[in-house]
Amino acid sequence: MPLEHAGRRRLFPSLYAILDPSLAPRSATELAEIWAEAGVLLIQYRDKDSSSAEVCAQAKELVARLSPSGGLLILNDRPDIAAIAGAAGVHVGQDDLPVEQARRICAPPRWVGVSTHNLEQVRAAAATSADYIAVGPIFPTGTKQNPDPVVGVGFLREARRLTPKPLVAIGGITLERAAEVLGAGADSIAVIRDLVSAGDPAVRAREFVAVATKAIADRNTS
């Protein structure tokens, strides 16, 4: 494994929180601060409904609130807003800008991540400059109107053999399922509903961080 990928995988946060304001019972800023104080280091802001100006303003606010604690903000879909707002990077899907076009706007040290839903897409993503690859949905999910077919935990093991890049598992991942997913080869778990809808989001975030940290430590020593 190239040293650059080995180091990136070791440093990649094990919990990747996704903040979708359409699903959150609190303001995006409040929820992001709660998560950051609970130890969440990486948050993606995914807003499909607001105007570009509104998304940009919110992204700038989130960057300002997260930066003092070392938290990183990733923008969904919009490399232009990510660059303008000073975010840590952008995440693109299969129907968004290709990785290399997003990279022209979000040059290093900003990250570019990409979603994949089958092994052909994983292979293609591995050949790009993407900093990490998201794979899923691992389990059934209700956070997308038209979700891709569920790929299952076994898919992670196959994807792991195809690339040394960090893998982020996404789709229906709950606290009870987190260890299984990380044990199958994911470097990080992307969580939306189980974090956003928790009665106490700080407690739930700490629980996820603890489970993920232990699962990765167990995997690395096995």
- CA dist list (Å): 82 to 45, 85, 183: 10, 5, 32
100: burial class by Cβ within 10 Å (0-12, 13-18, 19+)? exposed
Neighbours of 51 (CB within 10 A): 9
pLDDT value, residue 186: 96
Q: Which option is the CATH number for 3-221: 1.20.970.10, 3.20.20.70, 3.40.50.2000, 3.30.565.10?
A: 3.20.20.70
Q: Give, for all 222 residues of the chain, the pLDDT tens digit.
A: 333 555 566 679 999 999 999 998 889 999 999 999 999 999 999 999 999 999 999 999 999 999 998 999 999 999 999 999 999 999 999 999 999 999 999 999 999 999 999 999 999 999 999 999 999 999 997 666 667 899 999 999 999 999 999 999 999 999 999 999 999 999 999 999 999 888 899 999 999 999 999 999 888 786
pLDDT value, residue 143: 64
DSSP notation for 110-132: SEEEEEE-SHHHHHHHHTS--SE
Q: Which residues contact 215 (CB under 8 A, 6 or more apart)?
A: 14, 178, 179, 182, 183
| Contact present, 81 and 44 (Cβ < 8 Å) | no
Domain limits, the chain: 3-221
pLDDT value, residue 147: 72
